[in-house]
Amino acid sequence: MSTAVLFKNARLLDPLLGELQEDRDILVEQGLVKEISDRPISTSAARVIDVKGKTVMPGLIDLHVHVVAVELNLARQVHMPNVLVTLRSVPILRGMLRRGFTTVRDAGGAGFAFKQAVESGLAQGPRLFVSGRALSQTGGHGDMRARSDHMGDPTCACCVRVGALARVVDGVDAVRKAAREELQMGADQIKIMASGGVASPTDPVGAFGYCEDEIRAIVDEARARGTYVLAHAYTAAAIARAVRCGVRTIEHGNLVDAPTATLMAQAGAFAVPTLVTYDALASEGESYGLPQESVAKVADVREAGLRSLEIFKAAGVKMGFGSDLLGESQRLQSNEFRLRAEVLSAAEAVASATVVGAEVLGMSDRLGRLVPGALADLLVVDGNPLADVSCLLGQGERIPLVMKEGVIQFDELQ
């Protein structure tokens, strides 16, 4: 339950201004930031926490996770029993929240039931924006069938395999219906596979996913429900095609070039790089069961990742924070900050996981900044993330308190 809490003497981090404001009192009431003042706030709050010397910042937002990716080998987990996948996702959700991610966008796999489980308190985890199952063409990034398997799609709408992050669907009418189904089942936004990928068996990274008519039909359906499409895409050609068809956020984007980044900026499209997943796949993928055909594809995109940040930045493309980790590697989520800070400033890395994330989710007035009226998603941090992101790394060791919507989730300040 949410009770009133007063944080005293905070160094308040504002990611929009990229600065710390000293000696602030922050009053949280009924799940919201009620008041912020540079004078002492007098209150009858149930709890007063003196955070002198510590930073208070908004909760982090990861725009690209897969909470049901319980294994690195995605083809194998498709056949795992639904109950097992679901139960194994519970500690994954909790780990994200412990690392300070109070909101995540699931980029394929989690559906409405996961939101219900978290919102009801059954599972402890971040606020979820779910995509349901991602849409993939036959032979695309979401098609986990082996080359020798010519049976139909093992999934169907009436019998969802929880371990499948995607569903295979082809043709303008069929993708239109699939998008409607995912929206009817509670998807907040629609995810498509618009190019080949790494963790799938038969699709080259350079392949296109879907023809333009199919992408436009899916974008139409999302817009008709007041939402948008996010697209997995690596190459400049695949990114440009998706953006021209109305896709709003480009996931990964490693092989972007300058003209394509300019096109994105002009269209108001966002990039969600996910550098940490290539690091993880390269360093520990094989040992955790990534198939050989995927190991070979990691190198194609990994090196280009850091360079893509420079290209996006130069063109003025807004970048959200993504991680896209699978299985055992999910614990490395916060390392994305470290990789970004190699190319961008620490303040830019922090902005990607707060204000930019909130903008992508259409929640700029509620998330990403601690201002009166915002949802009280709040972290107490030992250190200044604007100077050095290392205090955000690991498993929350330097984040002694995590609050989500006014409720303290983890607390080592007692």
Instruction: Please report, as ranges, the residues that interact with Zn ion according to CB under 5 A.
Output: 107, 232, 324
Residue number of the CB closest to Zn ion reads 232
H helices present in 316-345, as ranges: 335-341
Half-sphere exposure of residue 36, counting CA atoms within 13 Å on the CB side? 20
Q: How far is the CB of 389 from Zn ion (least distance, A)?
A: 22
Pairing of strands 55-58, 5-14: parallel
Q: Of 9 and 73, which CB lies nearer to Zn ion in the complex structure?
A: 73
Q: Of 179 and 402, which CB lies nearer to Zn ion in the complex structure?
A: 179
Q: How far is the CB of 183 from Zn ion (least distance, A)?
A: 20
- Count the Cβ atoms, other than its own, within 10 Å of residue 92: 21
Q: How far is the CB of 360 from Zn ion (least distance, A)?
A: 15
Question: What residues does 191 pair with on adjacent strands?
Answer: 230
Q: How far is the CB of 219 from Zn ion (least distance, A)?
A: 18
Cα–Cα distance measured from residue 235 to residue 47, given in angstroms and rounded to the nearest whole number: 52
- Count the Cβ atoms, other than its own, within 10 Å of residue 18: 15
Cα–Cα distance measured from residue 397 to residue 414, given in angstroms and rounded to the nearest whole number: 15
Q: Of 6 and 68, which CB lies nearer to Zn ion in the complex structure?
A: 68
Q: What would the two tokens of residue 71 be?
A: 């294994």
H helices present in 109-165, as ranges: 112-119
Q: How far is the CB of 232 from Zn ion (least distance, A)?
A: 3
Cα–Cα distance measured from residue 410 to residue 388, given in angstroms and rounded to the nearest whole number: 23
Q: How far is the CB of 239 from Zn ion (least distance, A)?
A: 13
Cα–Cα distance measured from residue 281 to residue 178, given in angstroms and rounded to the nearest whole number: 31
CA 371 to chain CA centroid, Å, is 23
Cα–Cα distance measured from residue 306 to residue 9, given in angstroms and rounded to the nearest whole number: 38
Q: Of 319 and 374, which CB lies nearer to Zn ion in the complex structure?
A: 319
Q: How far is the CB of 210 from Zn ion (least distance, A)?
A: 14
Q: Of 99 and 297, which CB lies nearer to Zn ion in the complex structure?
A: 297
Q: Of 197 and 396, which CB lies nearer to Zn ion in the complex structure?
A: 197
CA dihedral 193, 194, 198, 200 (to 10 degrees): 50
Q: Of 106 and 214, which CB lies nearer to Zn ion in the complex structure?
A: 106
Question: What residues does 105 pair with on adjacent strands?
Answer: 129
Reported as type and span, the H/E element at residue 403 is strand 401-404
Q: How far is the CB of 194 from Zn ion (least distance, A)?
A: 9
Q: Of 5 and 107, which CB lies nearer to Zn ion in the complex structure?
A: 107
Tokens 């980029």 label which residue?
Answer: 107
Q: Of 141 and 404, which CB lies nearer to Zn ion in the complex structure?
A: 141
Question: What residues does 190 pair with on adjacent strands?
Answer: 229
Q: How far is the CB of 274 from Zn ion (least distance, A)?
A: 7
Q: Of 69 and 123, which CB lies nearer to Zn ion in the complex structure?
A: 69
Cα–Cα distance measured from residue 9 to residue 272, given in angstroms and rounded to the nearest whole number: 35
Q: How far is the CB of 238 from Zn ion (least distance, A)?
A: 11
Measured between alpha carbons, how far apart are the two ends of the chain, in Å?
A: 18
Cα–Cα distance measured from residue 394 to residue 383, given in angstroms and rounded to the nearest whole number: 14
Looking at residue 185, the DSSP 8-state letter turns out to be T
CB 173 within 8 A of CB 214: no
Q: Of 28 and 80, which CB lies nearer to Zn ion in the complex structure?
A: 80
Q: How far is the CB of 196 from Zn ion (least distance, A)?
A: 10
Rg (CA), the chain: 21
Q: What would the two tokens of residue 282 be?
A: 């390269």
